[in-house]
């Protein structure tokens, strides 16, 4: 039942039509990876980036998050975990604090766009889950981020 709804929601979000996919014969199972791919396709990215030690949401991040908010509003059955990260040159404890602050800044932005707070949770990974290895300025910049991770 839940899967059928999700399939329908994806169909809505991808096609914009109101056709219920559940009515069609033997639909392919919708995995969380497919949903995540749908979010990325519609929003441009599931990740936004931050400058220095900041948690301010710049224009590029606002555009991405506004699109993410639309997707989340269109898919109210899909929960999202907002995961905050710091770069590897941030000391351990402060990385946890700043990851938490970034995740909350993104959560607050999404809620202001109308996404129900109950649909979202936050977590700080500090510097425990770098997206990119190495410590070049580029690598550090790519790790100062918040990702919207869809959950079952």
The residues binding other proteins (CB under 8 A) are 53, 87-94, 96-98, 100-101, 103-105, 107-108, 122-124, 126, 128, 130, 133-135, 137, 140
Residue 39 DSSP SS3: helix
Residue 111: CB minimum distance to other proteins, A: 12
H/E element holding 102? helix 92-112
Sign of the alpha-carbon torsion through 119, 150, 71, 109 = positive
What's the length of the chain? 152
- The pairing of strands 120-124 and 79-84 is parallel
How far apart, in Å, are the Cα atoms of 134 and each of 90, 92, 124, 151?
14, 17, 21, 29
Distance CA 62, CA 78 (A): 21
- Between 52 and 114, whose beta carbon lies closer to other proteins? 52
Residue 140: CB minimum distance to other proteins, A: 6
- Between 22 and 149, whose beta carbon lies closer to other proteins? 149
Residue 123: CB minimum distance to other proteins, A: 6
State the CB neighbour count (10 A cutoff) for residue 36: 18
H/E element holding 47? strand 47-49
- Between 74 and 108, whose beta carbon lies closer to other proteins? 108
Residue 79: CB minimum distance to other proteins, A: 13
Residue 101: CB minimum distance to other proteins, A: 5
- Between 7 and 50, whose beta carbon lies closer to other proteins? 50
- Between 7 and 96, whose beta carbon lies closer to other proteins? 96
């Amino acid at each position: 039942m839940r899967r059928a709804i999700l399939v329908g929601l994806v169909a809505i979000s991808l096609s914009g039509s109101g056709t219920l996919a559940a009515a069609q014969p033997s639909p392919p199972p919708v995995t969380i990876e497919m949903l995540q791919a749908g979010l990325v396709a519609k929003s441009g990215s599931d990740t936004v980036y931050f400058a220095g030690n900041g948690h301010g949401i710049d224009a590029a991040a606002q555009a991405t998050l506004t699109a993410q908010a639309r997707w989340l509003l269109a898919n109210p059955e899909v929960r999202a975990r907002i995961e905050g990260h710091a770069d590897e040159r941030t000391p351990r404890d402060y990385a946890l604090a700043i990851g938490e602050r970034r995740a909350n800044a993104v959560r607050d932005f999404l809620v202001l766009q109308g996404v129900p707070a109950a649909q979202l949770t936050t977590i700080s990974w500090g510097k425990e889950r770098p997206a990119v290895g190495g410590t070049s300025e580029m690598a550090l910049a790519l790790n100062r981020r918040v990702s919207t991770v869809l959950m079952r």
